[in-house]
Structure 1
Amino acid sequence: MTRTQLINSLNTVLNQGNQLSTVVFAVMKESFEIKKLNIDNNEISTIQEMFLRSIREKIINVEEQTIIKVSEADNRANTVFHYDLDLPTGLDFYSSPLTDGIANFSFANDDLGKIDSLIIKIGTETNQIKIFKKLSPVEVLGRGGFLLRKARTQLERFTEKILNLTPSFNAVFVGDTYIFLDLKLLENSYGFHDVIVREANNSVQLIQALQILTTTEGIVELLGKTSFARKVVKIKNSPVILKQIPNAQIITFTQRHPSLANKMRYSDDGTQIILHTKKSRELFIKMLDDAYLTSELTEQYYESSAKDVVEGEEDASNNQEETQN
């Protein structure tokens, strides 16, 4: 999904005006059971407007914001993330259908303090979004410690819990696509590491197919660290692999580039790389991600994990004419 497609999909929902309706669901801790919150209709309108405004402020109206797939995520700022992997076990409930058959949250049987997160469904029968909001400790007042309230001339203990609803949110589901505002929630979700390792192993198979390494065992050993595994996932879309750069050219590059020279070893016949240290494995993965760049103007070497392909004006113009024709 491109940013333009994302904005159009969101506006398709937001521009339905008075036809919009909103339902708020609670996701309970541990069980991840979904319960419908029975909220006063007047307050529902306020909640709806609050989150629509938040969608505009955090996505639609943000200038120069980019969208990038989670499998290709890098460290660039002002970015939202298109989730293109399997949902981790800890967020699997997010894909559950929100039907009329879902039970109501009951103050007799349920506890506000045990609400983990909220799902806010806004839209019509044909066009809708699902906003996911992880509750922070300060958004459920009375969960841990206790509250004091004014009682005539004294303060007395307030024993009820209060849901403090703020406009912040973590993700939105629109047009069959999950969009996350940041990666922290994903990285802390149960099962996310398993998803990343599974995808990373697929990338390792691509490396094996190149037959450029004497062994990939050292890379597999480092997949236990999520940050490294994510870097391995990225290389499945690397131009080094997609453009089928010859092994001999890759090996020559590792021998000559200042950041890579003398960091790796090679087989006796010089046709394969030996990754004998943790550092060499990390550098090799970074190299496959095409992170080592050179300025044509200054011939200065740079490292960058965030890269956007630049299309020449003439090529872009030709492409536009072809599209119009």
Structure 2
Amino acid sequence: MAMESKSVLVAKLNKIVGHSTEGELYFLLEDERLLIKKGDLDEQTQAVMTKEFINHTKQYLSQEEISIMGLSLADDRKDVLYHYDYEDRIPEVDYITSVQQNVLSDSYNFKHDDISKMKGYVFAFVDEDTRITLYKEHYPIMVMKKEAGETLKDKINIKLTNSNKITEVDDDIFKLNFDFDFMIVDGELYVKNLKKLESKFGFIKVLEKKANESVDTIDLLEIVEDISYLRNDITDASFARKIVKVASKSIVLQKCNKEDIIKFINESNDIIKNKFKFDESGNLLDLKTKKARKAFITLLDDSFLYSKLTDHDYLSGAKDDLSSHEI
């Protein structure tokens, strides 16, 4: 499925509201394997959570500064919701997506299920042909409880009321907010918190595989003396994303050959030229240093720019094609 626009995603949320579809709460547990267990919500709590999850998600999508772009084109800009456009799937995410199939799951039992095994929580809407799932990582501080062996003298959970009465809460408290780290819309993954996807799920393996393929594409230029230096940087997730981006989007790779690139470097001002070092033949780039590799990726990203208006050279990271971008 193609990447949806913000307006289409909001329209799908509105469709859920129009059909009075109630959301369902699930807990994602991780022990020796992943488990999804359904939370037993009373009607009032379910109605409140349904309303607030939809409102918070719509509010996020309605922010003017938020843009949607393919994950393979990820750069350092903020305020981006990334659409997962890699061919390789992430098993953990596919498992979470299974709740969109409306398959029955076991119920979560706070007395018998170990809350320390909780990886995150899921709020899912299944409405005819529209399915939206929101996922949020669980943090230990979300739970306020007495640990095993503690007595009332060790700790007490209290609540503050409008009547200024302070009363004890006998049960443990689970604090849940309406934000999300990523959402799945009709099977398509949209990532708000990229760091969480990289650190808590198996995406890093997918990224490294794609980055290796991207280095192979770059190597076809036959302009690098030893491509292994670039390949070794793939373990750095941030740099791996940049390699994937230039291999997927680079106009330099699409329109320029080896001679074009060498000519550009040699005819540039000293600030740019001094960032690069050639071998003795003058035809191969030496990428032994981290600085040289960063400069090379910057060049492939076409980020060394010149302004005709100010007669000034710039380094520009995030660029949008004016032919398809509204100012």
Range of TM-score over shorter length: 0.7 to 0.9
SS in 1 for 2:229: helix
Say yes or no: does 1:126 pair with 2:129.
Answer: yes
Say yes or no: does 1:9 pair with 2:28.
Answer: no
How many aligned residue pairs are there?
309
Partner of 2:158: 149
Superposed displacement of residue 304, structure 1:
1.6
SS in 2 for 1:173: strand
Matched ranges for 1:218-297 at <5 A: 218-236=229-247, 237-243=249-255, 245-255=256-266, 256-297=268-309
Say yes or no: does 1:308 pair with 2:317.
Answer: no
Q: Deviations over 1:269-310 (max 9, x none)?
A: 332222232211111111111111111111211112200011
Q: Indicate if the aligned counterparts of 1:139 and 1:163 stay in contact, CA closer than 8 A.
A: yes
Superposed displacement of residue 93, structure 1:
2.7
Say yes or no: does 1:105 pair with 2:108.
Answer: yes
Partner of 1:322: none
Q: Indicate if the aligned counterparts of 2:10 and 2:58 stay in contact, CA closer than 8 A.
A: no
Q: Indicate if the aligned counterparts of 2:13 and 2:58 stay in contact, CA closer than 8 A.
A: no
Partner of 2:28: 27
Matched ranges for 1:28-47 at <5 A: 28-30=29-31, 31-47=33-49
Counterpart-to-counterpart distance in 2, 1:158 and 1:146: 11
Superposed displacement of residue 47, structure 1:
0.5
Counterpart-to-counterpart distance in 1, 2:232 and 2:24: 46
Partner of 2:83: 82
Computed over aligned residues only, the root mean square deviation of the Cα atoms, in angstroms, reads 2.8
Superposed displacement of residue 22, structure 1:
1.4
The equivalent position to 2:210 in structure 1, one of 196, 199, 224, is 199
Q: Indicate if the aligned counterparts of 2:145 and 2:157 stay in contact, CA closer than 8 A.
A: no
Q: Percent identity?
A: 27
- Structure 1 unmatched runs, 5+: 317-325
2 and 194 in structure 1: CA distance in 2 versus 1, 3 angstrom threshold: closer
| The 10-residue stretch of structure 1 (225-234 or 160-169) with the greater mean CA deviation from structure 2 | 160-169
Counterpart-to-counterpart distance in 2, 1:56 and 1:139: 24
TM-score (norm 2): 0.84
SS in 2 for 1:133: strand
137 and 109 in structure 1: CA distance in 2 versus 1, 3 angstrom threshold: closer
TM-score (norm 1): 0.85
Q: Deviations over 1:68-123 (max 9, x none)?
A: 22211112232211122244455453233443321111234313443221111114
Counterpart-to-counterpart distance in 1, 2:8 and 2:276: 48
- Structure 2 unmatched runs, 5+: 148-153, 160-165
Q: Indicate if the aligned counterparts of 2:146 and 2:156 stay in contact, CA closer than 8 A.
A: no
| The 10-residue stretch of structure 1 (260-269 or 136-145) with the greater mean CA deviation from structure 2 | 136-145
Amino acid at match of 1:15: K
Partner of 2:182: 171
